[in-house]
Amino acid sequence: MDCSLAEEYFGDAIDRVLPTEVEQEFRMHLEGCCKCRNAYELEGFSKQVVRDHVKYITTPKVVRAAVTKSLKAAYRESLGRGRGWIESFLSPGVFIPTLAGGVVFAAFILLLTLRNESPYDMSAHTAPNDVINLTFKNFALIRSGQFEPALVTCSPESIADFFERNKVDFAVSVLKVPCDSYSAIWSEYEGVKVAHVLYKIGGEMLYVYQISQDEALEGPKFSLPPAAKIALAKSGWYTDPNHPNCNVVVWTVNGTLCVASSTMKKDKLLAVLTTQ
């Protein structure tokens, strides 16, 4: 080992992270080279001097109080912002007409559905824990900007790594399609981990809600329409018939149940999902 190489290892030796395969050679060089030995020991002294003389200070009470005070002001501000839009919305001039319009609209929809719905609809997905229902709600939140991703990236590998890091305990499916961006977030529903992946493809959005297949089909916490369970058992795919544009597709892959909801038309959505 020559002096220039030994010098590169000074820091590692001082900080006790010298690779074992290098250590013997390094120590032998120091024993035989006075210049390097002096330089190494001086560098070690400078670390020791900093540790001995630069005292660690507890945050002074007055500083801690100032930080806490400014945080409390920030809390009040964020609370005020939250209240502000709600109180504006709930003022009589806005709320009552909105409520009246909503009641009329709901009555109209009810009338339409009552005419078409059979006593027992095998594809109905209105239960609060229905996976298709949950997918729709989340997609609506995403499109309104209320459900923000934890990760946005141009690399599908980063999405897979994200879920692995966050210990999502099933194989998250990442579609390998050319995208403007991939986004990811994970959450829990009744203690069960849920993976959410959003693809932005040329101005359109494709959102895929994913959970463990066992939890979805056999567990007590989620439900699926009977028609979906039958179709998945037969072919591994199900397209929801309650949406004329058919922008909801359910499938299983590698022990994971995936539910896609998208702004894309049916044929394009199926083309994207079936090219995997």
Which residues would be at the binding site for other proteins (CB under 8 A)? 7-8, 10-12, 15, 17, 34-35, 37-39, 41-43, 45-51, 53-60, 63-64, 66-67, 70-71, 74-75, 78-79, 82-83, 86-87, 90, 95, 148, 150-151, 165-166
* Measured distance CA(205)–CA(219) in Å, rounded: 30
* Cβ nearer to other proteins, comparing 82 with 255: 82
Contact 152, 181 (CB under 8 A): yes
**Beta carbons of 208 and 159 less than 8 angstroms apart:** no
Q: Closer to other proteins at the Cβ: 8 or 190?
A: 8
One DSSP character per residue, 135-146 reads HHHHHHHHHTT-
CB of residue 153 to other proteins, shortest distance in Å: 13
Q: How far is the CB of 141 from other proteins (least distance, A)?
A: 14
Nearer to other proteins, 79 or 233 (CB): 79
Task: Output b/e per residue, 42-61; b: 16+ Cβ within 10 A.
Answer: eeeeeeeeeeeeeeeeeeee
Work out how close the CB of 262 gets to other proteins at its nearest, in angstroms, rounded to a whole number: 25
Residues 6+ apart with CB under 8 A from 136: 248, 261
By beta-carbon proximity to other proteins, the closer residue of 99 and 233 is 99
CA dist., res. 237 & res. 253, Å (int):
10
Q: What is the rounded CA–CA span in Å between residue 185 and residue 149?
A: 5
**Shortest distance in whole angstroms from residue 192 CB to other proteins:** 17
**Between 43 and 121, whose beta carbon lies closer to other proteins?**
43
Dist. CA 253–CA 225, nearest whole Å? 19
| Closest CB 222 distance from other proteins, rounded Å | 23
* Minimum distance of other proteins from residue 129's CB (angstroms): 21
* DSSP character at residue 109: H
- The tokens for 198 are 């959003």
Q: How far apart are the first and last CA of the chain?
A: 54
CA-to-CA distance for 224 and 123, rounded, in angstroms? 9
3-state class (DSSP) for residue 182: strand
Shortest gap between Cβ of 136 and other proteins (angstroms)? 21
In the complex with other proteins, the residue whose CB is nearer, 50 or 114, is: 50
What tokens does 171 get?
């194989």
Name residue 192's beta-bridge partners: 189
If the CB atoms of residues 63 and 233 are measured against other proteins, the closer one turns out to be: 63
- Minimum CB distance to other proteins smaller for 63 or for 271: 63
Least CB distance from residue 171 to other proteins, whole Å? Answer: 20
